[in-house]
Amino acid sequence: MFPRGYLRGFAFAPDSRSFYYVHEAIAPKPQRRAVYHHVLGTRFDDDRQIFSADGGDKLRLSIVPGKGQLGFLVYRFLDKPCTDFYLWPFSSGTAPEPLIENAGYSFGPLLMKDGRILAITDRDAPNSRIVELCPREGLEPEFVDVILSTTFQSRT
């Protein structure tokens, strides 16, 4: 059983016999947030940590579920809010790969069944726009417009 707290993310694993979650206890307030893997029928004390982020009370960590991978969003609420986004293939032995770090723009990703990453963002747009995020080896990902930002003007 979890202690009292907040469930900040949840996703079933492809095997349907386990799941991934972020739990934030109310007290004592943790300085580290983490994603854990839980196998159904086992004790939560035996859960394996998959990813963690440090940052105290000004940090939130959430999971973005996908068919073959998980996304991890790290929000840091400092003088200027920043967002990091990591990708991790299920059951891989590798560390999650950072795709976006210290973003000063809003970013809400959706992992598609075909492996594509769609997101709503206000990066380079006066209003939000929907983009496909295209990872590039050793470079920042490319943001390809799916739906352009528009400014609506009233007709008077």
The domain spans of the chain are: 5-147
Mean pLDDT across the chain: 86
Contact yes or no for 67/88 (Cβ under 8 A): no
Query: For residue 154, what pLDDT is reported?
Result: 45
Q: Quick one: pLDDT at residue 25? A: 74
**Domain 5-147 is in which class?**
mainly beta
The C-alpha angle 73, 63, 42, rounded to 5 degrees, equals 140
How far is it, in rounded angstroms, from Cα 61 to Cα 150?
30
Phi, psi for residue 70 in degrees, rounded to 5: -115, 145
User: Cβ–Cβ contacts within 10 Å for residue 23, how many?
Assistant: 20
CA separation (Å) from 114 to 35, 122, 137, 147? 24, 24, 20, 19
Question: The whole model's pTM is what?
Answer: 0.86
pLDDT in tens, 71-83: 999 999 888 889 9
29 pLDDT band, cuts 50/70/90, is low
Q: Of all helices (H) and strands (E), which one includes residue 35?
A: strand 32-39
